[in-house]
Structure 1
Amino acid sequence: MSLQQTLSEKIKSVVKNTYSADLETVEFQATRKDFEGDITVVIFPMLRVVKGNPVQIGEVIGEELVKEVAEVSKFNVVKGFLNLVLSDSYYLDFFTNVGDFSDFGKMPQSDDARMVEYASPNTNKPLHLGHIRNVLLGYSVAEILKASGKKTYKTQIINDRGIHICKSMLAWQRYGNGETPQSSGLKGDKLVGNYYVTFDKEYKKEIEALKLQGETEEVAKANAPILLEAQQMLQKWEAGDDEVVALWKKMNGWVYDGFEVTYKNIGVDFDKNYYESDTYLLGKDFVAEGLAKGVFEKDPDGSVWCDLTDEGLDRKIVLRSDGTAVYMTQDIGTAIQRIKDFPDVNGMIYTVGNEQDYHFKVLFLILKKLGFAWAENLYHLSYGMVDLPSGKMKSREGTVVDADDLITDMAETARTISEELGKIDDFSEAEKSDLYQTIGLGALKYYILKVDPKKRILFNPEESVDFQGNTGPFIQYTYARIQSILRKAEGEALKNFEYTENFQLHEKEKEVIKLLEQFPETIQLAAQNYSPALIANYTYDLVKEFNSFYQNVPIFAADTSEEKNFRIHLSKAVAEVIKSAFDLLGINVPERM
């Protein structure tokens, strides 16, 4: 039984015996920093069944807890809050019983499986800053769910069909002169993205030419010859034209190779890729099934709809009058196919920007109406846009922040700042390069993941690489500092920690242990809320508390060998939890900085 359960049962007993009242639950919260205490019992909810002054009720309960619960050493009551001070032995028992903190808080994997979808790129352009937020969120949520005890599968759907890829294909046909990634020295996704930008430039020229001939802008946009030709190419692709399909496969192949390099550099992976070109017809069979069940209705023109007005939404088309599928049809079919591919999956998390909030409300509701039990466990991990100080990004105009360039720039920023600090002069060039990459990527990932997913981000690269404050490099630096402590301790015959009866904790030591104890609960909360921000900000709080301990409590100059040994072990535990937490965020930690 946990301490909170023990306290809860004892409090219920005291209330029953003293006030002849039955409490259903006891409300606990962390004690506020400005009061003495470790855990607080909230008295106010008890007043529903217990008549009396909340301060007096708190005094009665506190006195009984000190007498009856060994872990409670003293208490104080502030208005309707009973603040309990826990004994040193409670914290020391917890600390020694965990021992190895490297896997602390991670639950054994259950049979309850979830699939996390992230990335979902288009094959007409390289990955950019917006994709980075997407993949970092999706990857981290998958890792957090795994740590919380759920089996996880990581997947992406690649948007490899449609007019966008035909625009790049047509521009390459017209202006490419046979250029390839090998001949140009460009990554394949960048090469194809360049031709998407080329298409847009030529398209705008043709629009202006038509306007000079007297056409309205609307007519000019619809009738520009290059757009009409791209539309014809799409029709040929859908008809299976050999030449167009061969070009499509070749250029998409270049893009896939480029994506893989970027994913590797970012440090994310997938268990399975799905391709829109394979899935866009999957849902049509289920439309027929939905019609038979009365989930869908057919209009006189032959189109099929789902009426969601009773649920506060609108009517949603799932099949056009000509029998062709829409995106919703595809997403229905893809979801069902994924469960066929992974039968143990009991729910899915879709990492997609908040502009698609309505789409996913509709999708999830339709899947529930179709009778799939797993549809109860579908979640849209909706996130806000990432902006730069210079403004919004536009792919067509080539003004996006390229993911590869950003990763390189972050490492360069880390190099500049590290050299200014001058603490790595003894590193080899290879060690320096690895360190800059670790710091730069850590800064980028932490800056993005520390923010609640629903919030919009203004990304400032220089601010993210600051070695002070709530940043990845600050936490990485603390980890490296602890590794330095542990290297020094190796020469002092570090022993396992066992405390004697009279061993007393310094208040700063107790605060660090209190935070260590919260890590398992933080993992579970982050999993329940699909929020890496909870892990990121917990880690920052832990690091702040450790640094306060480090600055106020001597380690190697401790009064006794027992104190010194404990403080080294405490430092080691903090480092292990930092590493474990950063693993959940996909961030590496350096041994030296």
Structure 2
Amino acid sequence: MSIQETIEQHVKNAVLELHGVSLEQVEFQPTRKDFEGDITLVTFPMLRQIKTNPVQLGEAIGKYLVDNVAEVVRYNVIQGFLNIVLADAFYLNSFKAIKKTKEYGRVALTEDSKKLLVEYSSPNTNKPLHLGHVRNNLLGYSVSEILEAAGSKVYKTQIINDRGIHICKSMLAWERFGNGETPESTGLKGDKLVGNYYVRFDQEYKKEIAALMAQGKTEEEAKAEAPILLDAQKMLIKWEAGDEETVDLWKKMNQWVYDGFEKTYDALGVDFDKNYYESQTYLLGKYVVADGLEKGIFYKKEDGSVWIDLTDEGLDEKIVLRSDGTAVYMTQDIGTAIQRMKDFNMDGMVYTVGNEQDYHFKVLFLILKKLGFEWSNYLYHLSYGMVDLPSGKMKSREGTVVDADDLIQQMADTAKAISEELGKLDEYSEEEKEELYKIIGLGALKYYILKVDPKKRILFNPEESVDFQGNTGPFIQYTYARIQSILRKADFDLSEELQLNENYTLHEKEKELIKQIQLYPETIQLAAENHSPALIANYTYDLVKSFNSFYQNVTILGTEDINEKKFRVQLSHSVGEVIKSAFQLLGIQVPERM
């Protein structure tokens, strides 16, 4: 039983004994910093059942707690708020228990652990990953790590969009203008090479539109009749018919892209347990639609297209099969969800997809529910806002995106420039410096993106993210490195049992640090419930601020009392371990030196 649960039970006992009233709930909140106390009881809600003065009620409960709860040593009452002060011995015992806990904060997996699948990334194979994909990958990966730390078995997956007209556009442009060049012959990553031809297609398409409009066509007619687009459509028909030459070209160019993606994922530090491919799943949902049509869940229009009417649920009518019998994205997502459930027998799924698809997922989850799949109640859309740049919005077709690989390199270069200016790495070899620049740069990028609530848009500023002060990744990494420096200078074994006197009086900064460490398990659970890495990021920043305040106000290695020194070094060590653990949940490395 936690200390809050213990106090809650005694508060109920006190009210029952003093006033003959059984309380259903007791409201607590953190004590405000300008008052003495560790936990605050709010008495105002009790006044609905107890006719008395809130100050008198607080005083009576406070006295009862001091007399009956060993951990409560004193209290003060401010209006309807009872501020409860806990004994230093409680915090010391709590710290000793934390020290002994393996992988503190994390819940061990068991046979009964929930099984969850998290989908993220899910790129198209006609262009390299860009800044938008970076936020998606970092969110999906971090949420996977947080859910696992909170006690669920997590499988990471992506659906690769490897078919459709947009893929054929790159293929056609390469066939027409590529002169047989390859990633090997050009020295380009495969995804970049293919992406260049997607841009080239758009350039040629616009030229043809302009030429047709000059001949008197309307813009709409010109867009529909441009020869290069018609050829791409013919290529798609050939692919769907299984034309050997077209399929071979498709396989070759897709493999170039997959090889490129792998390098980017490796640089980002993300991975997957299973890949799904749209080319293999887009037909799955058609069989489900046919079954739903028989059961009256779907209906057919005069042109042969199949729809579902969701107007009673506040949505609209949604097409699930075109008049020519081809699948739409919704059809594919229905089939893929069912297939994944067969593959993993999961207790829930999380889809990491931008907020422009909010409506799509409302419809998908509702259709699956109407089809009778009970597990549809445990599907979650991790909706996130777009990433904007100071220069404006990105456009893939026009080639105005921030390439993920270029961004990763830019972050390392920015970390290098700032580090050299600060002169912090004079004793490092060139190889050590380069590795550290990558760790700092990538940590800055990940932290800057993940510290923001997923639902909010981000204006990304690389220089601002690589700052050694404030709520940034490098600031937290630097604090971790500072702690490692303290540990290296300590002249004793960190695993030694604490020998502090039971009457040891904690410095307010020591108590503040222990309180922050105590919050870590609760923060993991809260982050998992809310699918929000931002809660982990900002918790870590608060912990680091507390440590730096402790570092500036308390003598650690210089204190003459050997037991006091051991305690403070071990406390520093525990802070470092929580920082490292929390940053692992964000996919961020921490350097031993900086």
Shorter-chain TM-score category? Answer: over 0.9
Asked if the contact 1:494–1:565 (Cα under 8 Å) also holds between the matched residues in 2, the reply is: no
The aligned counterpart of 1:97 is 97
Give the partner amino acid of 2:546.
Answer: E
Structure 2: how far apart are the matches of 1:315 and 1:490? Answer: 72
Asked if the contact 2:109–2:151 (Cα under 8 Å) also holds between the matched residues in 1, the reply is: yes
The aligned counterpart of 1:6 is 6
Aligned runs of 1:442-521 on 2, under 5 Å?
442-490=443-491, 495-521=496-522
The aligned counterpart of 1:20 is 20
Q: Secondary structure at the match of 1:67?
A: helix
> How many angstroms does 1:499 deviate by?
2.1
Asked if the contact 1:102–1:576 (Cα under 8 Å) also holds between the matched residues in 2, the reply is: no
Q: 1:317 and 2:319 equivalent?
A: yes
Aligned runs of 1:177-188 on 2, under 5 Å?
177-188=179-190
Q: 1:163 and 2:165 equivalent?
A: yes
Residue 269 and residue 99 in structure 1: after superposition, are their counterparts in 2 closer, same or farther (change >3 A)? same
> How many angstroms does 1:559 deviate by?
4.1
The aligned counterpart of 2:546 is 545
Q: Secondary structure at the match of 1:418?
A: helix
Deviates more, 1:261-270 or 1:296-305: 296-305
> How many angstroms does 1:181 deviate by?
0.2
The aligned counterpart of 2:191 is 189
Q: Secondary structure at the match of 1:160?
A: coil
Structure 1 residues 158-197: Cα deviation after superposition (integer angstroms, max 9, x where no partner) = 0000111111111101110000000000000000000111
Q: 1:387 and 2:395 equivalent?
A: no
Q: 1:252 and 2:254 equivalent?
A: yes
> How many angstroms does 1:388 deviate by?
0.6
Is there any run of 5+ residues in structure 1 with no aligned partner, and where? none
The aligned counterpart of 2:237 is 235
Structure 2: how far apart are the matches of 1:291 and 1:21? Answer: 59
Asked if the contact 1:101–1:573 (Cα under 8 Å) also holds between the matched residues in 2, the reply is: no
Asked if the contact 1:203–1:226 (Cα under 8 Å) also holds between the matched residues in 2, the reply is: yes
The aligned counterpart of 1:265 is 267
Give the partner amino acid of 1:95.
Answer: F
Asked if the contact 2:413–2:437 (Cα under 8 Å) also holds between the matched residues in 1, the reply is: yes
Structure 2: how far apart are the matches of 1:173 and 1:40? Answer: 71
Aligned runs of 1:566-581 on 2, under 5 Å?
566-581=567-582
Q: Secondary structure at the match of 1:114?
A: strand
Normalising by the residue count of structure 1, what TM-score does the alignment of the two structures yield? 0.98
Q: Secondary structure at the match of 1:294?
A: coil
> How many angstroms does 1:48 deviate by?
2.1
Normalising by the residue count of structure 2, what TM-score does the alignment of the two structures yield? 0.98
Q: 1:357 and 2:371 equivalent?
A: no
Aligned runs of 1:98-497 on 2, under 5 Å?
98-100=98-100, 103-110=103-110, 111-343=113-345, 345-490=346-491, 495-497=496-498
Residue 447 and residue 394 in structure 1: after superposition, are their counterparts in 2 closer, same or farther (change >3 A)? same
Structure 1: how far apart are the matches of 2:482 and 2:360? Answer: 48
Residue 483 and residue 101 in structure 1: after superposition, are their counterparts in 2 closer, same or farther (change >3 A)? farther
Deviates more, 1:57-66 or 1:125-134: 57-66
**Identical aligned pairs, as a percentage?**
73
Structure 1 residues 184-240: Cα deviation after superposition (integer angstroms, max 9, x where no partner) = 000000000001111111111111111111111111111111111111111111111
Structure 2: how far apart are the matches of 1:398 and 1:102? Answer: 49
Asked if the contact 1:43–1:82 (Cα under 8 Å) also holds between the matched residues in 2, the reply is: yes
Asked if the contact 2:500–2:563 (Cα under 8 Å) also holds between the matched residues in 1, the reply is: yes
The aligned counterpart of 1:58 is 58
Let me know the Cα RMSD of the aligned residues.
1.2
Structure 2: how far apart are the matches of 1:142 and 1:101? Answer: 23
Residue 312 and residue 464 in structure 1: after superposition, are their counterparts in 2 closer, same or farther (change >3 A)? same
Give the partner amino acid of 1:36.
Answer: E
Give the partner amino acid of 1:397.
Answer: E
Structure 2: how far apart are the matches of 1:99 and 1:584? Answer: 20
Is there any run of 5+ residues in structure 2 with no aligned partner, and where? none
The aligned counterpart of 2:31 is 31
Structure 1 residues 407-428: Cα deviation after superposition (integer angstroms, max 9, x where no partner) = 0000000001111111211111
Give the partner amino acid of 1:119.
Answer: S
Q: Secondary structure at the match of 2:289?
A: helix
Q: Secondary structure at the match of 1:283?
A: helix
Structure 2: how far apart are the matches of 1:313 and 1:490? Answer: 67
User: How many residues are matched?
Assistant: 592
Structure 2: how far apart are the matches of 1:217 and 1:185? Answer: 39
> How many angstroms does 1:109 deviate by?
1.3
Q: Secondary structure at the match of 2:275?
A: strand
Structure 1: how far apart are the matches of 2:426 and 2:98? Answer: 38
Structure 2: how far apart are the matches of 1:82 and 1:588? Answer: 42
Give the partner amino acid of 1:64.
Answer: Y
